């Protein structure tokens, strides 16, 4: 009797053990561990920041795997039958032996430093693991980072580096390379000129590391190059486009409109410069180069109103930031590619590549902003390339010593259709320029010195002044 009883007991125990082992994963699947990440952006209205949010949200919805996790997924799949597990993401995928789900809190500071500080303070008791920080006020950045670090929240800085504070990561585009690309483009535009290319640099906030380093790189690459002359380099609080417009207006007035190029350290200031130059009829002649390849700046490239943008590729910045945040939240480290010295601290960092995009390569930005309404990308690129050729042709004629080229640059063709640019000089030395669609046959003054209608300067003089027509 004893043996059958023991055998039955063992059989019952074995079945019970198997049932228990089968139920364990089900229990695990029902308790997902949430990884909380916060992204504090200086201004969500910036085009690049909208792309960052779109890209990171897409990663979250697709499962949130980092690059390393994706590479190891096949290896982890082999062990799935033994221990089913899930990784961090909206729907969950394989990683680490425990269930994880990523939650992202988006914070828009709206360019208000005090608002950003209040937003970050509210995160302290919300079990947030990592904050991706794009600071509004660079001078306040170190205080914000230290406050988060005291709350055991890891911090990744975007764009600019808060000085001398314990950051866990820094991700930014290549500032030095950006300035090099801008300066190289100016030097290419200066070829064949008999006079230097007089240039203005519209810099962002003086405390903004990104803006400072771009400007420093431009100036270093132009050092000893007499073909380009920087007549003004001025910083603007917060990179304010309206302030940049006022700076350029003053520079144009002081130089009697004889400014040949404008460099800006972000797209917003570049867009403002292009708009001012268009309003003054100088857009055809003045070279403009920005940084960021925002939507309006990209559209201006296609139209031929703008010459070049350094594309910082925000999609790639977002990918790296997402991977870094997941890595820090789950393992305490991430795949940086260098370290930067930051006062008393060495900060793991990743520098993202950049590229110069002109009108002829505007198709490179179509995936981000789409094709312009009513035209395909190839047509837009051809228009931008043609406008650039017309501008260069006009510059060469202006410096050839020809009176007709100095008085007007009728070679301009920014968008399609014949255009003529008039430059009118008054007796007291004032100069006014304007663009007119089509060819000009005759110009008359409606209010001459005697109050009667008459031809401006005589027929022969007028024809010689209209772009050599």
pLDDT at 30: 52
Query: Per the confidence metrics, is the pTM higher than 0.85?
Result: no
- 8 A C-beta contact, residue 240 and residue 270: no
Beta 287-291 vs 308-311: how paired, if at all? parallel
What is the DSSP-derived secondary structure letter of residue 98?
S
Which pair of structure tokens corresponds to residue 158? 């975007």
403 or 345: which leads in pLDDT: 345
Beta 431-437 vs 261-264: how paired, if at all? unpaired
- 8 A C-beta contact, residue 163 and residue 139: no
pLDDT at 173: 96
What is the DSSP-derived secondary structure letter of residue 361?
G
Which pair of structure tokens corresponds to residue 40? 């504090």
Which pair of structure tokens corresponds to residue 390? 């017309």
Confidence of residue 253 (pLDDT cuts 50, 70, 90): very high
- 8 A C-beta contact, residue 102 and residue 326: yes
Nearest 10 degrees: CA dihedral of 69, 89, 311, 267? -150
Distance CA 63, CA 58 (A): 9
- Mean pLDDT to the nearest integer, 303-327: 97
Please give the C-alpha separations between residue 83 and each of 19, 23, 76, 289, in angstroms, as whole numbers.
15, 12, 10, 56
Distance CA 66, CA 48 (A): 22
- pLDDT single digits (tens) 332-388: 999 999 999 999 999 999 999 999 999 999 999 998 998 876 555 444 445 555 555
- 8 A C-beta contact, residue 468 and residue 406: no
Backbone angles phi, psi at 276, to 5 degrees: -65, -45
**Three-state SS letters, 338-352:** EEEEECCEEEEEEEE
- pLDDT single digits (tens) 135-189: 999 889 999 999 999 999 999 999 999 999 999 999 999 999 999 999 999 999 9
Distance CA 322, CA 332 (A): 14
pLDDT at 207: 85
Beta 419-425 vs 431-437: how paired, if at all? antiparallel
Rg of the chain in Å (alpha carbons): 30
Cα 112 to the center of its chain, rounded Å: 20
- Other CB atoms within a 10 A radius of the CB of residue 90 amount to 17
pLDDT at 404: 41
157 or 33: which leads in pLDDT: 157
**Predicted confidence (pLDDT) at residue 248 exceeds the cutoff of 70:** yes
| pLDDT averaged over every residue in the chain | 78
**Predicted confidence (pLDDT) at residue 256 exceeds the cutoff of 70:** yes
424 or 314: which leads in pLDDT: 314
Confidence of residue 34 (pLDDT cuts 50, 70, 90): confident
- 8 A C-beta contact, residue 169 and residue 156: yes
- Mean pLDDT to the nearest integer, 28-50: 85
Nearest 10 degrees: CA dihedral of 50, 202, 381, 361? -80
Confidence of residue 64 (pLDDT cuts 50, 70, 90): low
Confidence of residue 33 (pLDDT cuts 50, 70, 90): confident
Distance CA 399, CA 300 (A): 26
- Mean pLDDT to the nearest integer, 245-266: 96
pLDDT at 432: 63
Angle in degrees, 0-180, between the axes of helices 175-190 and 209-222, rounded to the nearest 10: 40
Range with top average pLDDT, 235-239, 387-391, 412-416, 418-422: 235-239
């Amino acid at each position: 009797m004893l043996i059958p009883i023991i055998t039955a007991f063992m059989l019952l125990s074995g079945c019970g053990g198997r049932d228990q082992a089968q139920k364990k994963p089900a229990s695990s699947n029902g308790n997902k561990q949430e990884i909380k990440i916060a992204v504090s952006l200086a201004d969500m209205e910036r085009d690049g920041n909208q792309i960052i949010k779109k890209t990171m949200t897409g990663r979250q919805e697709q499962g949130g795997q980092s690059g390393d996790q994706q590479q190891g997924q096949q290896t982890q799949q082999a062990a799935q039958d033994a221990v089913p597990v899930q990784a961090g993401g909206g729907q969950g995928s394989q990683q680490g032996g425990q269930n994880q789900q990523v939650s992202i809190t988006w914070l828009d500071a709206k360019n208000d430093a005090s608002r950003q500080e209040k937003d970050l303070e509210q995160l302290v008791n919300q079990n947030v693991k990592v904050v991706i920080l794009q600071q509004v006020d660079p001078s306040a950045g170190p205080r914000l980072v230290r406050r988060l670090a005291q709350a055991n929240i890891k911090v990744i800085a975007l764009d600019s580096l808060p000085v001398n504070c314990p950051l866990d990561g820094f991700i930014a585009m290549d500032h030095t390379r950006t300035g090099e690309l801008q300066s190289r483009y100016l030097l290419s535009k200066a070829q064949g000129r008999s006079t230097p290319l007089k240039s203005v640099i519209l810099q962002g906030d003086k405390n903004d590391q990104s803006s400072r380093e771009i400007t420093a790189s431009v100036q270093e690459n132009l050092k000893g190059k007499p073909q380009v002359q920087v007549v003004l380099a001025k910083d603007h609080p917060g990179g304010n486009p309206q302030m940049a417009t006022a700076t350029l207006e003053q520079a144009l007035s002081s130089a009697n409109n004889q400014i040949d190029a404008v460099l800006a350290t972000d797209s917003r200031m570049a867009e403002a410069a292009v708009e001012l130059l268009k309003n003054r009829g100088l857009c055809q002649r003045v070279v403009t180069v920005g940084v960021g390849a925002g939507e309006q700046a990209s559209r201006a490239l296609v139209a031929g109103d703008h010459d070049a943008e350094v594309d910082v590729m925000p999609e790639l910045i977002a990918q790296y930031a997402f991977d870094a945040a997941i890595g820090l939240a789950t393992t305490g480290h991430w795949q940086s590619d260098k370290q930067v010295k930051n006062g008393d601290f060495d900060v793991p960092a990743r520098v993202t590549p950049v590229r110069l995009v002109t009108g002829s390569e505007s198709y490179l930005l179509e995936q981000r902003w789409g094709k312009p309404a009513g035209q395909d990308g190839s047509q837009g690129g051809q228009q931008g390339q043609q406008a650039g050729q017309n501008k260069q042709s006009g510059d060469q004629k202006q410096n050839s010593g020809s009176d007709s080229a100095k008085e007007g640059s009728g070679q301009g063709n920014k968008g399609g259709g014949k255009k003529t640019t008039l430059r009118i000089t008054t007796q007291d030395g004032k100069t006014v320029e304007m663009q007119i669609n089509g060819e000009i046959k005759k110009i008359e003054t409606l209010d001459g010195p005697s109050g009667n209608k008459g031809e401006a300067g005589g027929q022969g003089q007028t024809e010689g002044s209209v772009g050599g027509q």
